[in-house]
C-alpha cells in the first residue's frame, strides 16, 4: 500500500459504521480512484475495499460485483456531464455565450482532479455492451440538448442540427482531452476560449430563424 493509501485507510477506520448512502458514496469514491489509476481489468475488488477501508463483505453488500460497481460509477459521471451541458445551454440566451459555456463544461469535466472523464471517454471496457451503451447514450443526450438549441435558432432541419451538435460535442471533448495532456502549458481558460471561438465562427454562419 502507498503512503497516501495508508493515510486514507487510517482516516477511514475499518469497521466504521456509516449510513447506507454515505457508505455507497465512500465506496464509489474509492472505486473511482482505483479504476482511474489501474483501469477496469487490472483493478480488483480487494484493492477497492482496501482503498475504502472496509472489508470485502461490506463492499459486496452494496455492489454484487466489479462490473456493477463500475456501471454505478459510470452512471454517476455520465449524468454529471449531461447535467453540466444542459446547465451551460440554459445559462444564457446569448448564443455566443452558450457555445462558450458548453465548451467550458467539457473542459471542466475533463479537468476534474478525480479523472472521472477517463471512465466515460477512455474506458478499457468499451467492448462490454452495458458500458458501450452508457457511453453512447451520454454522447447522444449531450448532442440532443445542443441540437435542440441549434434547431430552435436556425432554419436547419432536425437531422442537420443533430449532426452539427455531435460535431460540436466531439470537438469539445477531444480538444479538452488533448489539452489536459499537452506539454504546451495553455491555461484551461485560454484553451476553452480558443475552441469556443473556433466553434462559434462555424455555427454563427448558419442563418437564424
CATH 1.10.10.60 in the chain, residue ranges:
18-64
Interval 59-96: pLDDT, tens: 999 999 999 999 999 999 999 999 999 999 999 999 99
Query: Domain spanning 72-205: which superfamily?
Result: Tetracycline Repressor, domain 2 (1.10.357.10)
Nearest to 134 by CA among 54, 73, 187, 63: 73
pTM of the model: 0.86
Res. 18: pLDDT tops 80: no
In the chain, what percentage of residues exceed pLDDT 70? 92
Interval 140-190: pLDDT, tens: 999 999 999 999 988 889 999 999 999 999 999 999 999 999 877 899 999
What the block records as the C-alpha cell of 193 is 476560449
CATH T-level assignment (fold) for domain 18-64 = Arc Repressor Mutant, subunit A (1.10.10)
Amino acid at each position: 500500500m502507498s503512503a497516501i493509501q495508508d493515510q486514507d485507510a487510517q482516516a477511514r477506520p475499518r469497521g466504521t459504521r456509516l449510513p447506507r448512502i454515505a457508505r455507497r458514496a465512500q465506496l464509489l469514491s474509492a472505486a473511482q480512484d482505483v479504476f482511474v489509476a489501474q483501469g477496469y481489468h487490472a483493478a480488483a475488488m480487494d484493492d477497492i475495499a482496501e482503498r475504502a477501508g472496509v472489508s470485502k463483505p461490506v463492499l459486496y453488500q452494496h455492489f454484487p460485483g466489479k462490473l456493477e460497481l463500475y456501471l454505478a460509477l459510470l452512471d454517476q459521471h455520465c449524468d454529471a456531464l449531461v447535467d453540466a451541458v444542459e446547465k451551460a445551454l440554459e445559462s444564457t440566451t446569448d448564443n455566443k455565450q452558450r457555445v462558450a459555456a458548453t465548451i467550458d463544461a467539457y473542459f471542466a469535466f475533463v479537468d476534474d482532479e478525480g479523472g472521472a472523464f477517463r471512465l466515460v471517454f477512455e474506458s478499457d471496457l468499451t467492448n462490454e455492451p452495458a458500458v458501450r451503451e452508457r457511453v453512447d447514450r451520454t454522447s447522444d443526450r449531450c448532442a440532443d440538448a445542443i441540437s435542440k438549441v441549434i434547431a430552435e435558432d436556425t432554419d436547419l432541419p432536425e437531422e442537420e442540427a443533430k449532426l452539427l451538435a455531435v460535431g460540436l460535442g466531439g470537438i469539445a471533448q477531444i480538444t479538452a482531452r488533448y489539452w489536459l495532456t499537452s506539454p504546451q502549458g495553455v491555461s484551461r481558460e485560454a484553451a476553452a476560449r480558443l475552441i469556443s471561438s473556433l466553434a462559434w465562427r462555424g455555427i454563427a454562419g448558419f442563418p437564424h430563424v
